[in-house]
Amino acid sequence: MTDADKIYEAIEVARSTGKIKKGTNEVTKAMERGVATLVAYAGDVNPPEITMHLPLIAKEKDILCVEVPTKEELGAAAGLTVGTSAVAITKEGEAKKLIVELKKGAPKPEAKVEPVKEETPKEEPVEEEKAEEVKVEPDAKVEPKEEAKTKEDKK
């Protein structure tokens, strides 16, 4: 029994004894609310941007998220006559053992630690203000300012 078969079986059991959410929008909401315990999304969804956010949310929320080959099989496991892009199990029901088994066999994502590049702020060159030059003509007479008269001078 492949992992995909175990996932389909867990979805079928949870559908009949628990609760599931079908479709990318419903699955995204369940993940963000923290009620999803297992998420399966189809690998043949076109365009892939429809489901590419699901593994990122799952990693953030610590939810088991797996890709299955086709949306038709995923839809059939969810009890639909058409394919579906994603399914989330919100209440396991009797599928709890299967989910625990899948979680044990799932590879743990390696945390990539990348060095943080600190951007040094670019300093703009500061232009020094130039003092205004005062041109004094050589022949110009500079008269001394009268000093303020003090009270003694007035007497």
Helix (H, G, I), strand (E, B) or coil at 65: strand
* CATH label of the domain that carries residue 67: 3.30.1330.30
Whole-number pLDDT of residue 120? 54
Q: Is 22 a member of any domain?
A: yes
pLDDT bucket at 153, cuts 50 / 70 / 90: low
**Which positions ≥6 away from 139 have C-beta within 8 Å?**
none
User: What's the pTM value of the predicted model, to 2 decimals?
Assistant: 0.64
Q: Is 23 a member of any domain?
A: yes
Q: Is 34 a member of any domain?
A: yes
Q: Tens digits of per-residue pLDDT, 113-147?
A: 344 455 555 565 556 555 566 665 666 565 655 55
Q: Is 110 a member of any domain?
A: no
8 A C-beta contact, residue 65 and residue 102: no
Q: Is 146 a member of any domain?
A: no
Total domains in the chain come to: 1
Considering only CA atoms, which of 89, 100, 95, 94 is closest in space to residue 37? 89
Where in the sequence is the domain holding 81, given as residue range(s)? Answer: 3-105
What does the block give as tokens for 13?
């059991």
Parallel/antiparallel/unpaired status of strands 38-42 and 64-68? parallel
